[in-house]
Amino acid sequence: MSGTGGRRHEKLLERTLIVATLLMFVVIVASAFLRLAQDGLGCADWPACYGVIAPQAPGGAAVPPLEMVMRVVHRIAAAGVGFAVIVISVLCFRGGDDRRRKWIAVALLALTVFLAVLGRATPGAVLPAVTLGNLLGGLLMLGLIWQLRLVVPGAARAPVSAWVRLGLVLLALQIALGASVSAFHAAASGATLPSCHGAWPPSGGAIEALDPMRPPPALSGAALAAEPTRAALHMAHRFSALLVLAYWGVLAIVRARAGGGAATALTAGVLLAQGVTGAAAVWLGMPLAAAVLHNALAALAVLAAVSATSLSVLAPTNS
């Protein structure tokens, strides 16, 4: 495809990818709000109500207006993402022989189907695996959409630094730990700073004992705060956050001295903001708004990190 038709094709694909990115970000934020609100985060008698509130209020109780609005926003945005992915896939397969685009399009289609099927099982689900699948699948989908946005047709990517790739891997592991904290209702097990109720790390807590295919014990209040296994998970998330932030911070400084690395610096800045937000959430008693913002910043960190690994392009090979 070349000439005017090719330019129109690329413009349409670019605009669709930008819209899909924005819609996917809305889906992630709305999903975080609904998940955390249904888990009892931000309830009046926190943490006694945490992890024991059913997804649907018993006895036909009215759903809070803000939650109703977020449900509608989530459904509309999710439907929009699904439609956008179909358009993106068609454009990628009709736009030439760029294999990178086609493989990413296939992955996006597979993720869309996976999240749609998982979404059917989400209401009322108590398995941590469902929460992990939704959260990690959504962030992965966001990253793939943005990576596709950064692919330049007919251009060969310059070798990406192994250090940047390692940073992306560390960030992925950190996000997985954060998702596990939410999936296993471990927020209240680390409701003090800087340690978890005075323990460095909590004694008797083995993270491997947490099985994503089994519902976690229904604890609340003091029993949940004193539960060593979930406290160990929470502290692992904190230590990992410090490691990832330090890594991206040093990487940003090194790349800045070399005369580049704006996306790397942005990633470090977003991670710093996310860490401050997470600490503030604990300090303030886990308000719902701070926890949702923490999730939103995780999505922004994914976008920045993907940019750091993708914005390295050489001259077009077919010129």
Each residue of 21-49: pLDDT tens digit?
Answer: 999 999 999 999 999 988 888 777 777 77
Q: Which amino acid is at 269?
A: G
Give me the mean pLDDT over the 157-170 stretch: 83
DSSP assignment string, 156-197:
EEPPPPHHHHHHHHHHHHHHHHHHHHHHTT-GGGG-SSSSBT
- pTM of the shown model: 0.88
pLDDT at 203 over 70: no
Tell me what pLDDT residue 316 has.
41
pLDDT at 63 over 80: no
Instruction: Name 118's Cβ contacts closer than 8 Å, sequence gap at least 6.
Output: 130, 133, 134, 137
The whole domain housing 272 covers 3-316
Each residue of 235-263: pLDDT tens digit?
Answer: 889 999 999 999 999 999 998 887 778 99
Long-range CB pairs of 311-318, under 8 A, 24+ apart, other chains included: 311/150, 311/263, 312/157, 312/158, 312/159, 312/160, 313/152, 313/155, 313/156, 313/157, 313/158, 314/155, 314/156, 314/157, 314/158, 315/155, 316/152, 316/154, 316/155, 317/154, 317/155, 317/156, 318/154
pLDDT at 60 over 70: no
pLDDT at 57 over 70: no
How many structural domains does the chain have? 1
Higher pLDDT residue, 309 or 250? Answer: 250
